[in-house]
Each structure stands twice: as C-alpha cells, then as structure tokens.
Structure 1
C-alpha cells in the first residue's frame, strides 16, 4: 500500500473545489489533437437488455493494452474526462473503450432497471467480455466517480480472481463512502447546482422507464424528489434490490471492502472535492496492501485543470488522465 501524493497545482486564479470542478466540465481543453472518434457496438446483456459500447477509432498496435473507462453519474463517452482519457490513449498507443451504463448512451434500455454505484456484477460481465474479445491485450480499467466506486467494489468482490481479468484498476474522484457523498451533494451550493443538474436528466429518464413498465414506482413522489437521497429511495434502491437509500448507500460503498482488493488499485480523490468530504476518504490503515491512495489538496470533482501561458490561464485537463494512465501502465 502506498500513500504517495499526486502532485497537482491548480491555476492561481481558479481557487476552490467548485471553480476547479465547473471549469473542467464547462470550459477546459480536453484533447491536444483531433477530437476522438468512436465506433459504437451494442452488447446484449445476459438478462435480455443491452448496453452501448464506444471504442475509440485511433490506431493501437497489436498487443498494446486496452484501457476501459467506466463513466460517472449521467456520464458518457462525451464527458470531458472520457474525451481526455481517449486523448491520452491515442497519444500513448492504447486501445480505448467506454462502455455506457444502462440508459446513458442516448437510448433508454429495455429492462426495469437502470444502473447504480455498486453494480459490480455489470462491471464483471463487461470486463470479462472485453478480456475474451481482446485476448492479446493487457486489460486496464479506470472508473470516474460512480463508475470508480463500482469498479473498486468489483475488484474487492473478485479478490484474487480479478487478476485473471485485469492488470490494474483505478478510481477517480469516486464517492467510496456513498452516504458521505450523497449527503454532501444534497446541501447548500451543491444542492442548488449539482443536484439540480443531475436530476434534470435522471427524472425524465425515470419517467420514461415508468412508461415502459407501468407501476414500477410512484410517479408523483418521484416528481417531488428534490435531492439524490429522495430519488434513490424511490427509484435507484428498489429497482436494484435494495431496501431503501440507506441500505443502498451502505451496501454499495467500496470503502468498507477496499482491504479485500488483490490487484494493483489506485484511488485518486482531491481533498477539496465538493461532492466528497475529505474526512470520509479512506486512510492507509483502511485499505489493502495493493491499494495506492492519491489525495491531493486541490482538484475538485474530476477537475484538475492546469494552466498555460504567461498569465496562467486554465487550459486542459490532461494532467489527471496522464497521471492515472501512466500509473496504470506501470503496473503491467
């Protein structure tokens, strides 16, 4: 286990976790060369549903690693961090893919379910299919926010057998303690900005799911939900086998099982992430010997914008994908 620090310095005029988060999401430069182009495949799931998988079209030599990125809540291959990781993969000659969680590719999935933070069974199925289809490529996996928590849960659940599928895993700005993160995003500025942003897409998708499967949940109660706790209580938890939000957040969190991980694993969390209280982050004493903790003071939530030019204007967000990507490559 290592507690080494990711050396990140924020642009001088972009102080605070919210500024670093919002700039990265809305105004950052995500790639140095051409924007990534994608080839989309539809994978039929074992339960009769489907997911859509985007694979970057750039060339990767035979035998080069395949990096699989699991996106965050309401994310996709168009998310700023996915584009930045695709750019890193192109520059370094890696194959790269973004599997979309159910309902996140632009088309609603069919089954009476969506996706959730502890969905390690879905992670397992996806990673094993990638391993079968690319037997000549070492497999690396990263997950951002929600996707990172689910990936770390998978690594912990699989134990020693995870090493037969992947060489290493990494989580980026993941709420490894879901209760701490869930309550934090439901308060103050977070509730006014981030909660509204997420619910703006999550509620309409849930209502479309209700049209597919009448009686699945209480429509009026869902429309009255004003935070993720209430949304998860009505939709996410019951649809995925949890008793309620508290049960979901408790059982799906990766933090309590990080000590069971037996493959090289990196957990990167900025200590000023507005979604994730620093006091909730795992300590070296709480993780296994294969887990590396990077907890820089700054960076925000999937932010890490870096400056360029004489004025130090915030520019690209490749600092984080570069650091995480090279850490993963070093584990092969």
Structure 2
C-alpha cells in the first residue's frame, strides 16, 4: 500500500501561498463552497456528555457509520484552539472517515463550542488530564477497535499528549495523527506576535475575548478577568490568565507544561504521525526540525499547506482527508500507517 505523503500535495497557484491556505482553512467562503458530502457526519450525530474526571464534563458528538456491515473502528477528532466539533476541518475529516466505515467521535475541549457553562474553571492548554480521561470514557462507551485520534493545531498537540499517556492509562489507542500541532508553545507565541502578520493574532484574540466574555456571562458570580486585561496582546492576556487561574508561577512554566518539543516524544509507545507544512505562518517549522523522534513516530513536512489548510483546489476540499483516512484505514487493516 502506498500512502499519501506531504510531498504529494502540490496545489495550483495561488493556493501555493501559505497565507491563502491558512486564511481559507476556516473561512466562510470555504464552508459555502465545500460539497455536501463534507457535512454528512452531522447526519444522525448524537450529542454526548463525557466524563473528564473529577466532576469535569465535556461535550461531543458521536456518529455511527452506515456504509459497511461492521465498523472499521472508532475515530476521535480534536479541534484547534477556539474551534469546536463543528469546525469546517473537523466536519470534513469526520465525513470522510464516516464514508470509509469509521464511527466518529468529535470532542469539544472545555469552554469550546457551546460548553462554557458546564465547568466553572477556565480552559487552558495544560488540561491534558481531563481530555485523556474523556478519551478513556469514550473508549469504554464505544468499544470499537481499533481506536485512532486525529487532532489539528492545538488539538494536534493534545492528540500527541493523549497518545503518550494512553498505555499507562489503559486507553486502547492504536494510532495518533497530528496536523500542524503546536510543538514548542513559547516559540509559537513569539512567532504569532513577532513574525506572523498582524491579522493572525487579531483573529485568535477576537475569538478568545469572545469566549472569555461567554464564560463570564455563564458564571456572573465569579470574576474571570479585569476589563483592562482583555485589552492586552496575546502574551499579556495569556500571562494574566495563567497567573490568575492556574498554579503555574510564570508564563514560561505554563508554556513548558504543554510543550512536546525536543525529546518529549521519545517516550511514545504507539504509532503516530505528525503532518505539517513548511509554509505554515502560525507554527514555526524550526520546532519540528529540532524534534528527536523514535522510529514509531513519523514526521512529514509538506512544502505547502499553510496552517491546517492543505486545500487542493477551488472546491475547497482538503488533502488531509485522504491523508488521515488512508492512514487510519491502514491501521484498521493491521498494516503500518507509515508509507
């Protein structure tokens, strides 16, 4: 079996631009132009509440496949920061996996989607324990085998960290795939502030401020932020939230808390793939090139794709759909997910 590789992705001009790929990836234009079959994962989807441990509740959606007599397995999908189970890239990937015979579970992180009122404490990127616990709960409730995870951006970072912990937690995870994951959060924060065009930071900050206001409205008895703090830049607001709402003593300690840089992934025991793009304007490529990886972790750097884009043409479909589905299908067939 020949699996798709990042080098195979060669979009037409002007989709060779990493900025255009990135801007189109979550745009309303793309959502409008995508074919109807990109949304089939919504049909018959069951809203679900899952256990994050310690009283934490997370939301998600489960869709059972209907194309084959028996499911190939269970695919769990993680969205990116300030995305949700209904983000375009999650729906499109989920729909492709569903068509290939996978049951699909789309998980919302805390305070994402419409879940702000479920848990009083704020979301932050070091809340790996509740996400891993939720994946364990999903595995028990839908014991399809094999079970594979795909995550995008921050969701890719979470997917890698869940995969690191899965064996010790008894989670029967067979494979993890991360698309444009955050590797070194400190480098990513610096890049978004200092080298990426201003509109990327503006985009994320607008969504984050909106989310924080929704959280405040859900729990009016608690003060989550000062109004002046909301006016700060990404670094300033992140530091304010870290010092106010976490046990980390500094911004640097918090960022290190969810880093998978350097040798962190050498402890990975299950097969995993990291797909990224050299022209990603949000996540610096340097962090990927500095990774030290075991033989069971594949690093695939495409020359094009932007940040979680990989858009093939003007129908707005993504190369990631084939890339993820074919690797998941290889796992289901008992074959290597590496080319």
TM-score category (smaller protein): 0.7 to 0.9
Q: Distance in 1 between matches of 2:175 and 2:237?
A: 33
Distance 1:320 1:41, change over 3 A: same
State the SS of the aligned residue for 2:75.
strand
Task: Report what 2:236 is aligned to.
Answer: 230
Distance 1:258 1:6, change over 3 A: farther
Aligned length: 319
Runs of 4+ aligned structure 1 residues displaced above 6 Å come to none
Task: Report what 1:320 is aligned to.
Answer: 320
Matched, 1:35 2:42: no
Q: Which 5+ residue runs of structure 1 have no aligned equivalent?
A: 308-313
Distance 1:164 1:47, change over 3 A: closer
Tell me by how many angstroms 1:243 deviates: 2.2
Q: Distance in 2 between matches of 1:161 and 1:119?
A: 17
Matched, 1:295 2:301: yes
Distance 1:329 1:236, change over 3 A: farther
Tell me by how many angstroms 1:11 deviates: 1.8
Asked if structure 1 preserves the Cα contact closer than 8 Å seen for 2:38 and 2:91, the reply is: no
State the SS of the aligned residue for 2:48.
strand
Distance 1:289 1:31, change over 3 A: farther
Tell me by how many angstroms 1:182 deviates: 1.2
Distance 1:164 1:204, change over 3 A: closer
Counterparts in 2 of 1:177-216, with a 5 A limit? 177-187=184-194, 190=197, 192-210=198-216, 212=219, 216=223
- What value does the CA root-mean-square deviation take over the aligned residues? 2.4
Q: Distance in 1 between matches of 2:9 and 2:330?
A: 19
Counterparts in 2 of 1:1-332, with a 5 A limit? 5-26=6-27, 27-28=29-30, 29-31=33-35, 33=37, 35-36=39-40, 37=42, 38-56=45-63, 58-59=65-66, 61-158=69-166, 160-161=167-168, 164-187=171-194, 190=197, 192-210=198-216, 212=219, 216-227=223-234, 229-236=235-242, 238-256=244-262, 257-283=264-290, 286-307=292-313, 314-332=314-332
- Scaled by the length of structure 2, what TM-score is found? 0.85
